[in-house]
Structure 1
Amino acid sequence: MEVLELYSGIGGMHYALKESGIQFKVAASIDINTAANDVYKHNFPNTINFNRNIQCLDSGDITKLAINTILMSPPCQPFTRVGLKKDILDERTDSLLHIIKIIPHIEMLKYILVENVKGFEVSQARNKLVKCIAESGFNYKEFILSPCQFGVPNTRHRYYLIAKKKDRPFCFTNSSLMVIPPKELLNSLPSLYFNKNEGFNQNIVGQSGAICIKDILEENVDETDYLVSDKILQKHARIMDIQTPASSKSCCFTKAYGRYIEGTGSIFCPFSKDTVHNTYLNADNHGDDIEQRVQTLRTLKLRYFTPREIARLMCFPENFQFPKTVTNKQKYRLLGNSINVYVVSRLLKLLKDGIPNT
């Protein structure tokens, strides 16, 4: 694969290519977010990275790159459940609509992969995309998938599309949307396990037990940097999604994690679910005594997951790094806008070879 990464962000697609095991070369990556580009260049210093608006590209520019694959995760705000859902009326779809217009003119293009939020599948933007690729001579398949379906303890439902030129074999006979991983993707997948030196790995023999939150935790976390504040405990204790070391799930982490509580991701507690439950009951016994309620909840040592822990849940490898100048707030934003590396790697393998790696 000769690849062009559009909306390349912090390099999730690039890592997915590496994880897939297929042969590839990233000819160029493009994003308008300077902070994301800094992270990308920090981890892939030998890959061309353009800090520019994708609407500046034309088919001639892409032809000069001699690519046959486009990977892209366009802005999700026009389609997200917490947004206004303005769809193609949102100017943030302009760059995607621009790419849709030039796809028919990229003669060497053989493979396309698109990632976006759940909700994109019912958008006008999606309709324009699939109409374009079908008329341009591609077979395609759409999915709604989550990492938890692959053994990763994180829920992150996302829309995916893979498309392949019709002169190449494609392992699906129709384009209908799938909401569970297809058998072609799962049948020969080895067991997934986690190694803190390398990240998520596959083992044909398999490991005992499911992957739990304890497996992805950082050691020696300075809790003072991540503890949930008394103000949050006072106002939002009831709506927090609290996960413990034994938990086998976590909520989707968004770019607002660390700034808002509801719907932005899970909170970690180092104790058991029973301890959490009983402590909340004890807090309720204090009635309207807010100080005593907060003091009781404080004993749970509730904290935010660290950026490294979230990166692990999104299946970034352990050698992924942020530049030292990037703040935690920026890390959360950048991770929240990124992809799950493992899920995309399986789809890339399916797209290229028709079967997953074994």
Structure 2
Amino acid sequence: MTHRILELYSGIGGMHCAWKDSGIPGTTVAAVDINTVANDVYKHNFPETNLLNRNIQSIKPEEIKKMNINIILMSPPCQPFTRNGKFLDKNDPRTNSFTYLLDILSQLDSVEYILMENVKGFECSAVRDLFLEKLQECEFVYQEFLVCPSTVGVPNSRLRYYCLARRNSTWNFKRRDEIMNRLPKDYDDPFMLSEIIEENVPERYLISDKLLKRANIFDICYKDSRRSCCFTKAYTHYVEGTGSVFTEASPETVDNCYKEANTHEVGSPDFVSTLKDLKLRFFTPKEVSQLMAFPKSYEFPKNISIKQCYRLLGNSVNIKVISELLKILVD
């Protein structure tokens, strides 16, 4: 069977990449997003896809019916369920497009499968309750997950909520009262970062003296590391909780350098000067994209700035996790 896919909140095409990676036969009939910068990146990588630069609420059920799609893949706005978004939940207008989809779902008879991704915290929201109620009303069987890429062999922490739903199914995988934190198979340990580290990285990725003042809170990774922290859209602008940094130096060299630096006041010129020898740097957009399991062939157009690359990646999805979930969804 060749599936027909509607990709909503398509961003830079993470769901598209995941579908291709899964190897499941199918065609993305349409992708929809209102972010023009993200759409430029999507078009660059998938020029053959019908990409609609539209508000989802402007798409009528009749229009979706004509597409004859049987799968919806989506990653709705996460801000209503985050600290930075003030946890406004269903009172946040950014949930309006998603609740609109819930309102029209009963009219979309051809839709058999749904995969939805969001941030950790969505599982505690009122919008999640509305979502599950609508799935049951429309006779979907669902399974929820909170999964980190590190559990599927990717050296990155990016814990996210996922929901798989199938209509009119006798899915014996269902555990409605349990959110699963692992997929139902074993994976290899995460690979070493040496597999994705670029050579001859330009000096512009070196951490500035301004940010080195806060080097005491850096999460530092090495070539033989099998882990990294979640990269957010604020990566390179803030150092706390936005992602890991990298050095070619050995852990022993780093330890010794920090011991010397800590003989000075944290943030002082001497503290910064001592740590500059480590040549700590940010991961490049290409490296971040591969830690999110985008294929090596994936590119950002030349007109997209480095800052925009990080913002777009911070709002995207982990390809490997979703690829594995898709195999479960349509099995």
- Describe the SS at the equivalent of 2:31: strand
CA distance in 2, matches of 1:180, 1:90: 28
Residue 179 of structure 1 deviates from its aligned partner by 3.8
CA distance in 1, matches of 2:177, 2:20: 28
Instruction: Kindly provide the amino acid, as one letter, of the partner of residue 298 in structure 1.
Output: K
Residue 246 of structure 1 deviates from its aligned partner by 1.7
Contact 1:139 1:170 in 2 (8 A): yes
Residue 285 of structure 1 deviates from its aligned partner by 1.6
Relative to structure 1, the CA distance from residue 341 to residue 171 in structure 2 (aligned partners, 3 Å threshold; closer, same or farther) is farther
Q: How does 1:248-287 map to 2 (within 5 A)?
A: 248-287=226-265
Q: Structure 1 unaligned runs (5+)?
A: 193-209, 354-358
- Partner of 1:346 in structure 2? 324
CA distance in 1, matches of 2:258, 2:219: 13
CA distance in 2, matches of 1:288, 1:331: 31
Residue 274 of structure 1 deviates from its aligned partner by 2.1
CA distance in 1, matches of 2:161, 2:197: 28
- Partner of 2:154 in structure 1? 152
Relative to structure 1, the CA distance from residue 298 to residue 243 in structure 2 (aligned partners, 3 Å threshold; closer, same or farther) is same
Q: Structure 2 unaligned runs (5+)?
A: none
Contact 2:216 2:266 in 1 (8 A): no
CA RMSD of aligned residues (A): 1.4
Question: Which region of structure 1 is more displaced relative to structure 2, 267-276 or 287-296?
Answer: 287-296
Percent identity over paired residues: 49
- Partner of 2:181 in structure 1? 180
Relative to structure 1, the CA distance from residue 97 to residue 141 in structure 2 (aligned partners, 3 Å threshold; closer, same or farther) is same
Is structure 2 residue 205 aligned with structure 1 residue 226?
yes
TM-score, length-scaled by structure 2: 0.96
Is structure 2 residue 90 aligned with structure 1 residue 111?
no
Selected match of 2:86 from 75, 84, 87: 84
Residue 56 of structure 1 deviates from its aligned partner by 0.5
Selected match of 1:319 from 292, 297, 315: 297
Instruction: Kindly provide the amino acid, as one letter, of the partner of residue 149 in structure 1.
Output: T
Q: How does 1:2-151 map to 2 (within 5 A)?
A: 2-151=4-153
CA distance in 1, matches of 2:82, 2:228: 19
- Partner of 1:203 in structure 2? none
Relative to structure 1, the CA distance from residue 289 to residue 117 in structure 2 (aligned partners, 3 Å threshold; closer, same or farther) is closer
- Describe the SS at the equivalent of 2:79: coil
CA distance in 1, matches of 2:192, 2:83: 28
CA distance in 2, matches of 1:68, 1:82: 35
Instruction: Kindly provide the amino acid, as one letter, of the partner of residue 200 in structure 2.
Output: N
Is structure 2 residue 218 aligned with structure 1 residue 217?
no
Residue 214 of structure 1 deviates from its aligned partner by 1.6
Relative to structure 1, the CA distance from residue 337 to residue 43 in structure 2 (aligned partners, 3 Å threshold; closer, same or farther) is same
Residue 289 of structure 1 deviates from its aligned partner by 8.8
- Partner of 1:302 in structure 2? 280
Instruction: Kindly provide the amino acid, as one letter, of the partner of residue 308 in structure 2.
Output: Q
Relative to structure 1, the CA distance from residue 301 to residue 61 in structure 2 (aligned partners, 3 Å threshold; closer, same or farther) is same
TM-score, length-scaled by structure 1: 0.89
Residue 180 of structure 1 deviates from its aligned partner by 2.5
Relative to structure 1, the CA distance from residue 5 to residue 288 in structure 2 (aligned partners, 3 Å threshold; closer, same or farther) is closer
- Partner of 1:205 in structure 2? none
CA distance in 1, matches of 2:66, 2:128: 27
Instruction: Kindly provide the amino acid, as one letter, of the partner of residue 229 in structure 1.
Output: S
Is structure 2 residue 295 aligned with structure 1 residue 293?
no
CA distance in 2, matches of 1:177, 1:218: 41
Contact 1:227 1:303 in 2 (8 A): yes
Q: How does 1:157-168 map to 2 (within 5 A)?
A: 157-166=159-168, 168=169
CA distance in 2, matches of 1:218, 1:288: 31
CA distance in 1, matches of 2:235, 2:75: 20
